[in-house]
Amino acid sequence: MARLNNKAWQFLCAEVERCAANNPATGDVSRDLVLKRLEKMRVGKGALATEAEIREVVIDLFPNFSEKAIKSAAKANKGFSPLMIIPSLGLGLVGLAGLIWLVNLPYPMIRRPVAKTAPILLLPSYMSMDHNYREAIANVEQADQLVNKATSLADFQLGAEKVKQSQEHLNALPVWFLGYEPKAYCTFFGCSWKFTVDEFQQARAKIGRMEAQIFQETNAMTQLEEGETSLNQAKSQYEQAKNTQEQKSAIAAWQSALDTLEQLPSTTLAAKNAQSKLNAYQRDFQAVTGEVSASQRSDTIIAAAKQYAIAAAQASQNPPHPVAKWKQIEDLWKQAIQQLSQIRLEDSSYLEAQTLLASYQVNLNQIQLRREAETAAVTAFERAQSQTQSLLAATPDDPNLVDRPRTAAKLQAIINELSKVQNGTTVYPQAQEQLIFAQNKLKQLQ
């Protein structure tokens, strides 16, 4: 191996010529000597010349020899090492990885051209699709078995987890790619996602139905647990009751718990589980409440109705109220009326219930009128506000350019809307202020 390669020799020769040109007196002689030394080093065999050796050859004849040229020559004179290609190889691998990442982005405008020209680059996508399809189908089938053949709440909870996993895998499948079959990949690995968009949508719909079913079943299970807990507490309260009033309270809670159990959706597992117990619960209830007369039941219902009525009356104090508040009060009166409607003709408290029912119905009608008035007032006020904004936007800044007849007509329309706002509504004070303002403006135009 030559001690000085051609590239390093060329660097040094160029700098020698430059130094010789800068020293006309002795430059030619020094140049020839240095070139001979360099030539000897270039044709000689041995270890590669180091930076110090190169400097020693030139520095005695050319003290001002460029240090930069010496370093460049020493750097160029280094032999080839496999480690030198590592940075380039690393950059190449990073670039290739970036290219594969780019072409596998889930966008049709990128994937479709690549699928036609270089489908092998989409291998990660194909593998991902195959995996997600297999997992989605497997999880859907498992979820279907767990949900539709559940025997406990744990089955529904596990089914919900499977449904969630199925949804995640289906979300990872690009809908636009369904039906596409990469031949090269399928030849070696086999493809399993040979299903259409309609089948994909059916799978999503099935998952949606199972999610709704799981939600209903979970709520029913919760309702069953709460109902049974309330029922057991009521039984214990009845057994420990020291007087009639405490017994009545326990019986009311007991009845409420039974109602909760009876209201379970009939198609749910909770309802099926509760049905076998419900008959026993009802027998126990009838056995311990056989001595309780129908009048006591009526008294309980009337007391409940009165509570709704009290709540409605308290809520309606200090009017006016917004529409939502009137609707809340209206619902309370309806609840009170619904309670009283349960009392039968043969009950001893029927007359009292009918008297209260008539009074509550009158109150309900009044509340409905207040709600309707509030709704109409708010609607009219909002229309007036909108018309006012429109008028302001259309009115020029120069008073001389104002279309007085047209402006007067619009003001009259605003006045008409504001006049519809009844007293006793939430927007009445504001409406009155704007009404007076609009009337004054109209007088100025007339």
Task: Give tens-digit pLDDT for 300-320.
Answer: 899 999 999 999 999 999 999
Residue type, 59: I
Residue 45 bridge partners (DSSP): 2
Domain boundaries, the chain: 6-79, 216-292, 295-446
Q: What's this model's pTM, rounded to 2 decimal places?
A: 0.37
* Helix, strand, coil percentages for the chain (3-state, nearest 5): 80, 0, 20
Which of 96-110, 154-168, 202-216, 258-272 comes out lowest in average pLDDT? 96-110
How far is residue 82's CA from residue 86's CA, in Å, rounded to a whole number? 7
Phi/psi of residue 2, each to 5°? -65, 145
Residue of 140, 223, 46 lying closest to 148 (CA atoms): 140
| pLDDT tens digit sequence for 116-139 | 665 555 556 666 676 777 777 777
Q: What is the pLDDT of residues 155-191, one digit of tens each?
A: 777 777 777 777 777 777 666 555 554 544 444 445 5
Q: Which two tokens stand for residue 28?
A: 């030619």
Q: Which of 51-65, 193-207, 234-248, 360-374 has the lowest mean pLDDT?
A: 193-207
Lookup result for tokens 């790619």: 177
Check residue 37 and give its pLDDT: 81
Joined together, the tokens standing for residue 184 give 């090269």
CB contact set of 278 (below 8 Å; sequence gap of 6+): 258, 261, 262
- Residue partners of 372: CB distance under 8 A and separation at least 6: none
pLDDT confidence tier of residue 280, bands split at 50, 70 and 90: confident
Cα radius of gyration (the chain): 46
The pLDDT > 70 percentage for the chain reads: 78
Q: What is the pLDDT of residue 315?
A: 95
CB contact at 8 A, 15 and 66: yes
Contact 405, 356 (CB under 8 A): no
- 113 pLDDT more than 80: no
